[in-house]
Amino acid sequence: MSTAAGMRPRRQSSGSSLPPSGRRSSVSLRDVQVAQALVAQQTNKMWSNQISKSFGLFPGRQTWGPALLVVVGPLFVIVYNYAIVELDGSIKKLYLELQTNGIVTSICKMWPSCRDLIAWKIIGIFIGLQLVLSRILPGDQVRGPTSPAGYIPTYTLNGFSCFLLTALLYVLGVFLRLYKGSIIWANFGPILSSMNVLVFALCFLLYIKGLYLPTGPDHGTMGNPLFDFYWGTELHPKILGWDVKQFLTCRVGMTFWGLYIISAVLTQIEWDGYLSDGLLASAGLQLVYVIKFHWWESGYVQTMDMQHDRAGFYRVWGALVFVPAVYFSPVSFLVIHPSSIGRHTAILAFVFGVICTMMTYDIDRQRELFRAAGGNKKIWGRDPYFITAKYKTESGETKANLLLGSGWWGISRHFHFVTELGVALSWIIPVWTKHPLPYLCLPFITCLLLDRAYRDEARCLSKYGPYWLQYCNKVPDLILPGVF
């Protein structure tokens, strides 16, 4: 991301009692003129209800990229999960099986039935329970970011209580011997296969809904049915009062993650009568991550996932199929291959992961609290630097956001991605195997975060224009301070 040469941050906010409008950092006429010239050169229209171009780290985002993900993605997760569980995470064993039996025969063997009755019962009961709990449990109401069309969504924050009650009910069912604790882990392959089918059906429904029965003003088509299916035709769809993106990502995807961890732990106890150091560390860290996510739901609904990504295959399949297949893989591997990394190594990995998780929370929370205070909040004991960045909705209404350039947000524009990678690293440290596939979640998460950083940069430049360029001049590093 280029910044405007010669642009100078004006000043920090003062400690006065003036309202934020009187304390914001200013932009000089010269800065604005330089910035406007740079913005005029951009074809980026990511801050738009009608997206003209998609930006990011990877090419082919509106052509072969979506087609590749829609066709190859469901195939990849099935083969990958099979290799983790049945082939010890070995690329060599996977290659030999494909070579010996042929690609088509091997894939047919690896692909679990999508008509498995137990898998569909688990999916149906789980989603039904989440529908009920998300509707009846109380929670604070919070407003999300303003959309390009000027719409402001409202979310009910009861994710933590929904997750906690769901986990307790699952453990209670095991205690009452209604089912084995290993039921989710043992049926994970058929669940993935069935979820692939469910996601395609759901995305087709959302595609039609966005075209003919949209919930809000942020909807439309790019004129390419494949891309519309992949990206979605609606930003904030609701069905019978449920916010689709919040429900699928938070209530279904993230809550199921927690249940899978519990099931994996109970599976190893059933099989071996104990928990290995490796599984205890990795599963414990993932459970901490899930709990942090639900506790911080007020912040998640302000993220790029919610304010930019439409409810299409990219968002829905990613939350319900890709994340379970790839992010769960270290734990899936450790259930079958107990890792004796030693108590001291396990403790160090766990402490490292918890520190990274809490740092990520503190970074995101710092900006959330600062904006909630309207800029009237000290950061690390000092008056913060910030920019009151104005932007316009497509209806012409002028609004503003505070861009924080102090504290964690003065180190780099996406320093929280560094700690996110630290979290992912802590998950795979306990794996301790010579085979590469169980470690694959780390490079995948790295690529996803890099792509997200580039997408966010393009979106913010489109949204804030010269104000974003001034912010980049103040905080020049994208992710890693002094390096990148």
Query: Which pLDDT tens digit goes with each residue over 5-60?
Result: 333 333 354 333 333 433 444 444 454 444 454 444 444 566 666 654 566 666 67
* Residues 166/84, Cβ–Cβ less than 8 Å: no
Q: What is the pLDDT of residue 10?
A: 38
Q: What is the pLDDT of residue 222?
A: 85
Q: What is the pLDDT of residue 272?
A: 92
Tokens 């990849």, residue? 76
Q: What is the pLDDT of residue 57?
A: 63
In 373-465, where does DSSP find H-type helix? 416-428, 441-464
Distance CA 176, CA 180 (A): 10
Helix, strand, coil proportions of the chain in percent (round to 5)? 60, 5, 35
Distance CA 209, CA 199 (A): 15
Distance CA 238, CA 244 (A): 5
Query: What residue ranges of the chain have pLDDT lower than 70?
Result: 1-59
Q: What is the pLDDT of residue 9?
A: 38
DSSP secondary structure letter of residue 383: P
Beta-sheet pairing, 386-392 with 398-404: antiparallel
Q: What is the pLDDT of residue 56?
A: 64
Dihedral sign of CA atoms 418, 421, 427, 429 in order: negative
pTM of the prediction? 0.89
Tokens 């209806």, residue? 395
User: What are the structure tokens assigned to 46, written together?
Assistant: 């990511």
